[in-house]
Amino acid sequence: MALIHRSSILKPLSTAAAASFPSLRRPFSSSDTITVETSIPFTAHNCDPPSRSVETSPAELMSFFRDMATMRRMEIAADSLYKAKLIRGFCHLYDGQEAVAVGMEAAITRKDCIITAYRDHCLFLGRGFYGGHGIVGAQVPLGIGLAFAQKYSKEDHVTFALYGDGAANQGQLFEALNMAALWDLPAILVCENNHYGMGTAEWRAAKSPSYYKRGDYVPGLKVDGMDAFAVKQACKFAKEHALKNGPLILEMDTYRYHGHSMSDPGSTYRTRDEISGVRQERDPLERIRKLVLSHDLATEKELKDIEKEVRKEVDDAIAQAKVRNLKAQCQNPSNSSPMCMLKTLELR
């Protein structure tokens, strides 16, 4: 059977300004504003933390729900396709961490840069970016290079260099951070702390797992990475800081639901109770659902209708990918598989 390439053929995710919600009966005014409070306070190192009060709009809140639901459905589909051997190679899923991707995108512009490692599907779906990188931590020096180019070109933009807690002990990360601080580069180092580097808990690998303090002379902020609005507020704060004062570290306290990769069941080094506890108490999508309902922006049925639309969009993208892959493979004259023979007859 044809293999499905991991590059997504889904359309880019909606932005608050362009989001449309055919399932809803009532339109939103662009002038409407809502103030929400972050789940917990920010913890700051060598800086004053931003306010917990975050301004948003009904359209943005609804777009957060739809975009995160799309990311979640896409990763669940990728899991199924990998198990069906339609996706091969390495596959690292992002479900559970969607608030980081959505909140970050809401705080910056398309001219700001994002660079990350290999757990990258949802970031790619959100905007396109400077690729996933398979060498642990190696993307961070590249991100500092992007920030250097931005400053050299006198651009009013920043670079977000993402890495995990497993990469936080890499020597190259500290070298890159030193250069960024020395030259006051507009760089934000974002540690997506999902608490396990492969199967190793953070406390077993790091003497000090307070990653937002790792820069010492570089300011840092610890953020609830399961709260999209906390991420948005932190990234907005970080961008303003980096443009004026140079680099800053953000530690996103988040959690991955799947194992490290598809070869990792994710349950040998953590309990099922731990995983289900995070799902029940901190799930980023459910947090947005509760906000939507509490502000009377949609009913439970309307949100379920949006999730059905998302499921259909992802299913249609998978079907389209299968057809494209099959057509491409069957153009090879040496491929005489029964499926290609049938496809050739169908095309004729």
Q: Tens digit of pLDDT for each residue in 37-88?
A: 999 999 999 999 999 999 999 999 999 999 999 999 999 999 999 999 988 8
Instruction: Count Cα neighbours of 94 within 13 Å in the Cβ-side half-sphere.
Output: 30
Q: Is 315 helix (H, G, I), strand (E, B) or coil?
A: helix
Mean pLDDT of 172-194: 98
Q: What pTM value is reported for the model? A: 0.88
Nearest CA to 40 out of 196, 194, 229 is that of 229
Helix (H) or strand (E) holding 63: helix 58-83
Distance, in Å, from the CA atom of 124 to the CA atom of 5, rounded to the nearest integer, reads 14
Other Cβ atoms less than 10 A from the Cβ of 91: the count is 20
CA 243, 219, 130, 99 torsion-angle sign: negative
Which tens digits make up the pLDDT trace of 247-265?
999 999 999 998 888 887 8
Other Cβ atoms less than 10 A from the Cβ of 82: the count is 19
Which pLDDT value is given to residue 325? 72
Beta bridge partners of 188: 160, 248
Nearest CA to 156 out of 250, 249, 240 is that of 240
Which tens digits make up the pLDDT trace of 294-328?
999 999 999 999 999 999 999 999 998 888 876 67
Which percentage of the chain shows pLDDT scores above 70?
Answer: 84
pLDDT at 8 over 60: no
What is the separation of C-alpha 326 from the centre of its chain, rounded to a whole number of angstroms? 30
Which percentage of the chain shows pLDDT scores above 90?
Answer: 68
pLDDT at 148 over 60: yes
Question: Which domains are assigned to the chain?
Answer: 34-258+275-315 (3.40.50.970)
pLDDT at 20 over 80: no
Distance, in Å, from the CA atom of 299 to the CA atom of 136, rounded to the nearest integer, reads 43
Residue with tokens 């209708």: 305
Confidence of residue 236 (pLDDT cuts 50, 70, 90): very high
